[in-house]
């Protein structure tokens, strides 16, 4: 039953929808297991998200990884340039060896953020775990599966890894058959990793000092002074409050004291006269 499903899957078209109702009970169970590895995408046309109990309303979409993993089309190799042919041969030799080598890594990133890596090296698995979600780790004899998530990528940023380094790593180790003219990484994945990186710089924390002015005249004078000084961060005219950069508090308070001294001197003169 499993072999029949695998053979049928090798003849499927990537991205096409196929009804699960045509599968037997065991075949449908195997299909749901494949979805955990990211080899197929299951969708319930009845609109009940996550409800996969009734296969009559469920369709499966084969991914490129599933078709290539099972079919392993050899026709595509004939159209590849010399460098890609040698890389492909090295990969095929590594995967077909009785004891696979540990130095080869070939990565396929799918548009659903699923990452498939052809490797048997624990070092490669650890490297991928730096920016992939470890809880999504799945393993076959020569292939490992991960999921790229916002939290996992941000965790890599906290380790000092840059978005450019992650993308460069994925491109440098992309599967040789992706080098036939297509994109090494789906554009939505690349854009999203860059957006996650920019989120770190969207909000900047800065320490400020809250100054309460005595009246509107003092407020206007101090606001103008802090703007000229480059220390102004925020102000509220109705409450006569100003936020200034904490590092420039000393200069601002010196100005405030001088202003209040001049204002007090003027008031005393007014009382005398």
pLDDT band at 168 (very low <50, low <70, confident <90, very high): confident
Most confident of 44-48, 101-105, 119-123: 119-123
Mean of all residue pLDDT scores within the chain: 78
What pTM, to 2 d.p., does this model score?
0.45
* pLDDT, tens only, 221-262: 999 999 999 999 999 999 999 999 999 999 999 999 999 999
pLDDT of residue 146: 92
Please enumerate, as own/partner, the contacts of 195-203 that have beta carbons within 8 Å and a separation of 24 or more. 196/150, 196/153, 196/154, 196/157, 196/163, 197/157, 197/162, 197/163, 199/154, 200/154, 200/157
Q: Tell me whether residue 8 is exposed, middle or buried, using C-beta atoms within 10 angstroms of its C-beta: 0 to 12, 13 to 18, 19 or more.
A: middle
Please check whether residue 251 is in contact with residue 239, taking contact to mean a CB–CB distance below 8 angstroms. Answer: no
Is the pLDDT at 192 greater than 90? The verdict is yes
pLDDT band at 271 (very low <50, low <70, confident <90, very high): low
Report the percent of the chain where pLDDT is more than 90.
Answer: 28
Task: Classify residue 23 as left (phi > 0), alpha (psi -120 to 50) or beta.
Answer: beta
pLDDT band at 177 (very low <50, low <70, confident <90, very high): confident
pLDDT of residue 91: 41
Mean pLDDT of the 200-219 span:
87
Select the more confidently predicted residue: 96 or 47. Answer: 47
Is the pLDDT at 186 greater than 80? The verdict is yes
Mean pLDDT of the 197-216 span:
86
* pLDDT, tens only, 7-32: 667 667 777 788 888 777 777 888 88
pLDDT of residue 7: 61
Mean pLDDT of the 182-202 span:
87
For residue 79, how far is the Cα from the chain centroid? 33
Task: Provide the token pair at 63.
Answer: 């991914």
pLDDT of residue 70: 52
pLDDT of residue 20: 82
pLDDT band at 99 (very low <50, low <70, confident <90, very high): very low
Is the pLDDT at 79 greater than 50? The verdict is no
Crossing angle of helices 150-158/187-202, nearest 10°? 50
Task: Provide the token pair at 34.
Answer: 């494949």
Is the pLDDT at 142 greater than 50? The verdict is yes
Is the pLDDT at 188 greater than 70? The verdict is yes
């Amino acid at each position: 039953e499993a072999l029949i499903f695998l053979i049928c899957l090798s003849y499927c078209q990537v991205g096409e929808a196929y009804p699960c109702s045509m599968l037997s009970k065991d075949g449908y169970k195997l299909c749901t297991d494949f979805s955990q590895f990211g080899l197929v995408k299951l969708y319930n046309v009845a609109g009940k998200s996550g409800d996969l109990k009734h296969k009559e309303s469920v369709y499966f979409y084969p991914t490129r990884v599933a078709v290539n993993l099972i079919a392993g089309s050899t026709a595509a190799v004939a159209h590849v340039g010399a460098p890609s042919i040698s890389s492909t041969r090295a990969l095929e030799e590594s995967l077909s060896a009785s004891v696979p080598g540990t130095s080869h890594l070939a990565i396929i990133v799918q548009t659903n953020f699923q990452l498939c890596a052809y490797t048997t090296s624990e070092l490669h698995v650890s490297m991928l775990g730096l920016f992939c979600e470890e809880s999504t780790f799945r393993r076959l004899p020569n292939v490992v599966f991960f999921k790229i998530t916002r939290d996992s990528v941000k965790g890599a940023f906290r380790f000092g890894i840059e978005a450019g380094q992650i993308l460069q790593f994925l491109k440098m180790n992309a599967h040789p058959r992706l080098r036939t003219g297509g994109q090494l990484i789906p554009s939505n994945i690349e854009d999203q990793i860059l957006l996650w990186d920019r989120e770190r710089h969207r909000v900047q924390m800065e320490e400020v000092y809250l100054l309460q002015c005595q009246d509107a005249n003092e407020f206007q004078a101090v606001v103008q002074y802090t703007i000229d000084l480059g220390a102004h961060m925020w102000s509220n005219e109705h409450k006569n409050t100003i936020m200034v950069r904490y590092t420039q508090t000393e200069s601002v308070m010196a100005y405030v004291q001088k202003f209040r001294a001049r204002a007090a001197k003027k008031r005393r003169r007014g009382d005398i006269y």
